């Protein structure tokens, strides 16, 4: 991003980052592509203008329906689309009326595949089938109370299935994403950009601040839930329980987080979580 573009983008920072309404209004608009657009050369090079790729309204509407439409029966394709949405496998410029995956992904039953950081995800079709077959059961059993015990039961069930069937490239962040959709937003999606944003937001840091926080451990490790709970606590401290029903919070935090730098170690900065 050029210094000129960076300077004009940073002007959008609210004078008081704790002004929630202004914060959401400022950054949610940057989450989406223009509502009417053509895949022009300028827009195709959007990544050179903004520090992230913007999202299609069509895609976001589909994700919201998967989260909150309790009458919808998930298909294998739905699960793959959730994973593709999280792992940058969707062509948002092409997804005007329906989800279009990138060339390295496929949502065909006889050729279902996905890629994470340039490496193919082994046996992804097994995971999509497993989740699609179990989502109704999980919701029926646990919808009355998504506490730590119940959430960990589902996460560990997913983790055990992944390990048993040699499904690669699926870590705690991806499992939490699936859990968030299954829980219909009761448990939040975890994102590194959002974590950066929450630390910056609650401390009033200006863009460009270097922030350190450790990665989430595997869901089977004892420290996992406390780390995830810390993220939930930051959401609740700054936004109350609205994060469960208001997608704008996640969208704004994801955009805002891109304005900060994540340190590789504690030595690189004085503030960390």
Instruction: Encode pLDDT of 104-151 as tens digits.
Output: 999 998 899 999 999 999 999 999 999 999 999 999 999 889 999 999
Residue 48 reports pLDDT greater than 60: no
Indicate the burial class of 158 (C-beta count within 10 angstroms; 0-12, 13-18, 19 or more).
Answer: buried
3-state secondary structure of 55: strand
Contact, 255 vs 27, CB < 8 A?
yes
Q: How, if at all, do strands 210-211 and 261-262 pair?
A: parallel
Indicate the burial class of 117 (C-beta count within 10 angstroms; 0-12, 13-18, 19 or more).
Answer: exposed
pLDDT of residue 141: 96
* Mean pLDDT for the stretch of residues 215-242: 96
What residues are paired with 102 via a beta bridge?
none
pLDDT of residue 270: 55
Sole residue written with tokens 């699609």: 132
Residue 49 reports pLDDT greater than 50: no
Q: What tokens were used for 54?
A: 């913007």
Rounded Cα gap, residues 213 and 201, in angstroms: 15
Read off the pTM.
0.89
Contact, 80 vs 124, CB < 8 A?
yes
- Residue 246 has a CB neighbour count (10 Å cut-off) of 15
3-state secondary structure of 109: coil
Within 13 Å and on the Cβ side, how many CA atoms surround 81?
Answer: 24
Alpha-carbon torsion 116, 103, 108, 70, what sign? positive
What residues are paired with 101 via a beta bridge?
90
Rounded Cα gap, residues 125 and 207, in angstroms: 40
Contact, 184 vs 68, CB < 8 A?
yes
């Amino acid at each position: 991003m050029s210094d000129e573009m960076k300077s004009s983008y940073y002007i959008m920072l609210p004078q008081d980052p704790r002004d929630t309404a202004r914060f959401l209004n400022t950054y949610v608009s940057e989450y989406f592509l223009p509502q009417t657009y053509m895949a022009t050369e300028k827009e195709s090079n959007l990544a050179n203008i903004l520090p992230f790729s913007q999202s299609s309204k069509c895609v976001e509407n589909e994700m919201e329906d998967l989260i909150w439409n309790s009458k919808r029966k998930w298909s294998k394709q739905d699960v793959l689309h959730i994973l593709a949405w999280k792992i940058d496998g969707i062509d948002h410029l092409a997804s005007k009326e329906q989800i279009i995956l990138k060339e390295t992904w496929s949502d065909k039953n006889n050729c279902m595949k996905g890629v994470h950081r340039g490496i193919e995800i082994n046996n992804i079709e097994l995971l999509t089938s497993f989740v699609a077959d179990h989502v109704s059961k999980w919701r029926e059993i646990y919808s009355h109370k998504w506490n730590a015990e119940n959430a960990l039961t589902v996460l560990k069930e997913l983790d055990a299935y992944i390990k048993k069937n040699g499904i690669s490239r699926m870590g705690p962040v991806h499992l939490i994403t699936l859990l968030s959709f299954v829980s219909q937003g009761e448990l939040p999606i975890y994102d590194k950009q959002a974590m950066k944003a929450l630390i910056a937001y609650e401390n009033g840091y200006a863009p460009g601040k270097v922030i350190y926080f450790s990665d989430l451990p595997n869901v089977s490790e004892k420290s996992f839930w406390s780390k995830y709970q810390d993220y939930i606590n930051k959401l609740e401290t700054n936004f109350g329980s609205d994060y469960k029903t208001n997608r704008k919070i996640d969208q704004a935090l994801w955009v805002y987080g891109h304005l900060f730098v994540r340190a590789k170690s504690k030595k690189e900065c004085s503030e960390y979580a």
